């Protein structure tokens, strides 16, 4: 009996708490504080008209829960890759017929999406008008590239921006079709102002609050292009591949959002890429630091720069599956959830190169590393991993494979010609060796901090998988150990680590 009354009072206490929380949220709104959810949908989530309509339904349902919603959308899947390819072809082959074929393909794809996602003839007509004018603009730029035989980083970014500038009006139309007010905006119009580092622009200013708050106050759902920003001079920039997640984080930061949701094609952040290891499991909770390490070291589900703005303001990030919206996904916050597993996840980066810089001349010469990194920085070469031997005769770095030529040029300019392998030449750098068929494997988990013997166990498992470790680095955060192996050994190595540290969790 007593049990019955205890249960009843708990139920009533929970109900009262819920009412109290709703009251707080409504009164916040009453006092002019906007409660915002930023929802970012990736390329696969808007990969067809049917999917766009499904996404519009998710957005509209959220709006009906009395939430202010800002949507950030990527290009339809494969469109950004196709834009990269055609811009390169316009430059190299300079074939106008190829450009016409591409334009027809893009037009058909987006027209089909409009037909499938929007029912109202009036809205369809409005959206087609926008799409027509953007595709016309795109065709002119591509023809310009072919005639001039010139593709600058600035014009390349302009071309790449069309992916998102075509998908956003369609999603906006589909939301309007479901009865909500919506406006499509470009990243710059939403207040993302960047420097002019085309291809990988950095944010200079955020005017997100000024741009979006008036719309939210009128009950409008802004649909913002992910991936792109604008310079103060008005040139479109891109934020790096996969950068729409970062756009969502910037908008969340600018609006002091309550939550930033990343809607994708998997049910959250997994213990490793589920495409690589089918037994990978969803991680229900991650700390910002763990998520940052995973994203930095290749977990494609999150763009590496997404975490920082959210972390700075303590805004939770929730990774959700568009095709399984009831799945809880992964919640990323400041809290460090200690699980039974010391190792929480494994991520990988392919298409990298290991550069080994040798030279006995480097011993005791202060500032050599600084000169190496300065030289690489001048050529915009991003260094992913660094390791220096204690003898100081060797520094190893890992960079993106596509940056190798630039890196060699930078080092030659700074240190003169190397390769003359004699100490008599008195060169600071005696030789530089490049290993291209390698990849990075990173093992991440907050529990690794201070855990004795974990590195030994990891490397034993790596050797059991048959892989040979070529370089090791441990980040200063101590929640990550990264190493380089041959790319051919990648799958076996990751599967072995996953089996040993995650599936059989007796670490």
Ligand X SMILES: N[C@@H](CC(=O)OP(=O)(O)O)C(=O)O
In the complex, the residues that contact ligand X under the rule CB under 6 A are: 42-43, 74-75, 80, 163, 226-227, 241-244
How many residues contact ligand ADP, by CB under 6 A? 20
Sign of the Cα torsion 441, 446, 449, 452 reads negative
Q: How far is the CB of 226 from ligand X (least distance, A)?
A: 5
Taking CB under 6 A as the rule, does residue 301 contact ligand ADP? yes
Q: Measured from the CB atom, is 301 or 411 closer to ligand ADP?
A: 301
Residue closer to ligand X by CB (options 186, 392) is 186
Choose between 286 and 355: whose C-beta lies nearer to ligand ADP: 286
Distance CA 222, CA 296 (A): 29
The owner of tokens 């048959």 is: 466
Q: How far apart are CA 75 and CA 166, in angstroms?
A: 7
State the binding partner of 206 from ligand ADP, ligand X, none, CB within 5 to 8 A by kind: none
**Residue labelled with tokens 């300079």:** 94
> Smallest distance from the beta carbon of 373 to ligand ADP, in angstroms?
28
- The CB-of-41 to ligand X minimum distance in angstroms stands at 8
Rounded to a whole number of angstroms, the minimum distance from the CB of residue 262 to ligand ADP is 7
Which of 38, 43, 145, 473 touches ligand ADP (CB under 6 A)? 43
Contact 290, 444 (CB under 8 A): yes
**Which is closer to ligand ADP, CB of 273 or CB of 403?**
273
CB 470: neighbour CB atoms within 10 A?
16
Sheet holding 330-333: strands in order across?
182-185, 221-225, 68-73, 36-41, 259-264, 317-321, 330-333, 285-287
Q: Which is nearer to ligand ADP, 268 or 359 (CB)?
A: 268
Instruction: Based on the shown chain and the rule CB under 6 A, indicate whether residue 79 belongs to the binding site for ligand ADP.
Output: no
Residues 265-294 that bind ligand ADP (CB under 6 A): 265-266, 269-270, 272-275
Q: Is residue 273 within 8 Å of 348, Cβ to Cβ?
A: yes
45 is an interface residue for ligand ADP by CB under 6 A: yes
| Dist. CA 453–CA 110, nearest whole Å | 55
Of all residues in this chain, which one has the CB nearest to ligand ADP in the complex? 42
Nearest to 171 by CA among 239, 75, 241: 75
Q: Which is nearer to ligand ADP, 72 or 123 (CB)?
A: 72
Cα 219 to Cα 216: distance, rounded to the nearest angstrom: 5
Q: How far is the CB of 43 from ligand X (least distance, A)?
A: 3
Local structure of 58: helix, strand or coil? helix
Please give the Cα distance from 23 to 496 (Å, whole number). 51
Helix count and strand count (H, E) for the chain: 15, 18
* Minimum CB distance to ligand ADP, residue 111 (Å): 22
Q: Are 77 and 43 in contact (CB under 8 A)?
A: yes
44 in contact with ligand ADP (CB under 6 A)? yes
Name residues contacting ligand ADP, limited to 316-345 (CB under 6 A).
345
Asked if 184 touches ligand ADP (CB under 6 A), the answer is no
What burial class does residue 359 get, using C-beta atoms within 10 Å of its C-beta: 0-12 exposed, 13-18 middle, 19+ buried? Answer: buried
Site for ligand ADP, rule CB under 6 A:
42-45, 74, 242, 264-266, 269-270, 272-275, 299-301, 345, 347
């Amino acid at each position: 009996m007593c049990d019955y009354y205890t249960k009843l009072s708990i139920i009533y206490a929970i109900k009262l708490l819920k009412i109290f929380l709703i009251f707080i949220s409504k009164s916040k709104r009453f006092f002019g504080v906007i409660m915002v959810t930023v929802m970012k949908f990736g390329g696969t989530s808007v990969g067809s008209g049917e999917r766009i309509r499904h996404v519009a339904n998710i957005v509209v349902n959220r709006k009906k829960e009395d939430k202010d919603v800002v949507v950030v959308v990527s290009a339809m899947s494969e469109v950004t890759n196709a834009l990269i390819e055609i811009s390169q072809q316009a430059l190299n082959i300079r074939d106008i017929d190829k450009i016409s074929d591409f334009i027809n393909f893009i037009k058909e794809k987006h027209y089909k999406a409009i037909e499938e996602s929007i029912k109202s003839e009036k809205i369809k007509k409005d959206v087609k008008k926008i799409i027509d004018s953007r595709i016309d603009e795109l065709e002119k730029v591509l023809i310009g590239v072919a005639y001039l035989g010139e593709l600058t980083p600035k014009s390349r970014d302009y071309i790449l921006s069309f992916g998102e500038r075509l998908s956003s009006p369609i999603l906006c139309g589909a939301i309007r079709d479901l009865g909500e007010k919506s406006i499509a905006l470009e990243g710059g119009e939403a207040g993302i102002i960047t420097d002019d580092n085309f291809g990988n622009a950095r944010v200079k200013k955020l005017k997100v609050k000024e741009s979006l708050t008036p719309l939210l106050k009128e009950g409008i759902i802004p649909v913002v292009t992910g991936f792109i920003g604008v310079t103060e001079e008005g040139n479109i920039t891109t934020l790096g591949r996969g950068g729409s997640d970062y756009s969502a984080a910037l908008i969340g930061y600018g609006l002091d959002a309550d939550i930033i949701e990343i809607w994708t094609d998997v049910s959250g952040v997994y213990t490793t890429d589920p495409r690589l290891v089918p037994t990978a499991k969803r991680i229900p909770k991650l700390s910002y630091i763990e998520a940052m390490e995973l994203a930095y070291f290749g977990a494609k589900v999150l763009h590496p720069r997404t975490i920082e703005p959210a972390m700075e303001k303590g805004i939770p990030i929730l990774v959700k599956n568009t095709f399984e919206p009831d799945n809880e996904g992964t919640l990323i916050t400041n809290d460090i959830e200690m699980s039974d597993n010391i190792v929480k996840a494994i991520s990988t980066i392919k298409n990298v190169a290991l550069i080994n810089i040798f030279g006995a001349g480097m011993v005791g010469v202060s500032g050599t590393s600084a000169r190496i990194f300065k030289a690489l920085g001048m050529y915009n070469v991003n260094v992913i991993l660094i390791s220096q031997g204690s003898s100081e005769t060797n520094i190893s770095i890992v960079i993106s494979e596509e940056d190798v030529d630039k890196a060699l040029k930078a080092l030659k300019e700074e240190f003169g010609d190397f390769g003359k392998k004699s100490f008599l030449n008195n060169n600071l750098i005696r030789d530089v060796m490049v290993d291209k068929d390698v990849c990075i494997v990173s093992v991440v988990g907050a529990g690794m901090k201070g855990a004795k013997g974990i590195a030994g166990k990891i490397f034993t498992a790596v050797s059991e998988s048959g892989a040979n470790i070529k370089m090791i680095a441990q980040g200063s955060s101590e929640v990550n150990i990264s190493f380089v192996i041959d790319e051919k050994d990648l799958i076996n190595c990751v599967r072995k680590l996953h089996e040993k540290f995650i599936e059989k969790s007796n670490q």
